[in-house]
Amino acid sequence: MHMQATSFVCARVFAIVLLMFGAIPSAYAQAPDRSRSNESAAGHPDFGGTWERYAPPRDPNAPPPRGDAGIGLGPIFGAPPPPLKPQFVAAYEAEVKRIAEATQRGEPIANANAQCIPDGMPSMMLAIFPMEVLQTRGQLTIIQEAFNQVRRIYIGEDPPAIEDAEPSFYGHSGAKWDGDTLVVDTVGIKETVRYRNAPHSNQMRIHERIRMLDANRFEDQITVTDPVYFSGPWSWTWTYQRKPGYKMYEYVCEDNREFVDPDTGSQRMRFKSKAE
Q: How far apart are CA 172 and CA 75, in angstroms?
A: 27
In single-letter form, the type of residue at position 43 comes to G
Give the separation between CA 186 and CA 122, rounded to whole angstroms. 10
Asked if 157 is part of the footprint of another protein (rule: CB under 8 A), the reply reads: no
The DSSP call for residue 158 is P
Rounded CA separation 149/235 (Å): 23
CB of 129 or CB of 177, closer to another protein? 129
Q: Does 96 bind another protein (CB under 8 A)?
A: no
Stretch that binds another protein, among 16-24, 28-36, 134-142, 228-236 (CB under 8 A): 16-24
Of 186-194, 204-212, 229-237, 250-258: span binding another protein (CB under 8 A): 250-258
Contact 210, 47 (CB under 8 A): yes
Q: What is the Cα Rg of the chain in Å? A: 20
CB of 217 to another protein, least distance (A): 20
Check if the beta carbon of residue 218 is closer than 8 Å to that of residue 183.
no
Distances in Å between the Cα of 134 and the Cα atoms of 137, 207, 215 are 10, 20, 16
Our CB check for another protein shows the closer of 127 and 155 to be 127
| 95 is a contact residue toward another protein (CB under 8 A) | no
The answer to whether 171 touches 165, Cβ cutoff 8 Å, is yes
Residue 82 as a binder of another protein (CB under 8 A): the answer is no
Q: Establish if 273 lies at the interface with another protein (CB under 8 A).
A: yes
- CB nearer to another protein: give 43 or 57: 57
Q: Which residues bind another protein (CB under 8 A)?
A: 5-6, 9-10, 12-13, 16-17, 19-20, 24, 67, 69, 71-73, 77-78, 102-104, 106-108, 110-111, 113-114, 116, 128-130, 145, 249-258, 266-269, 271-273
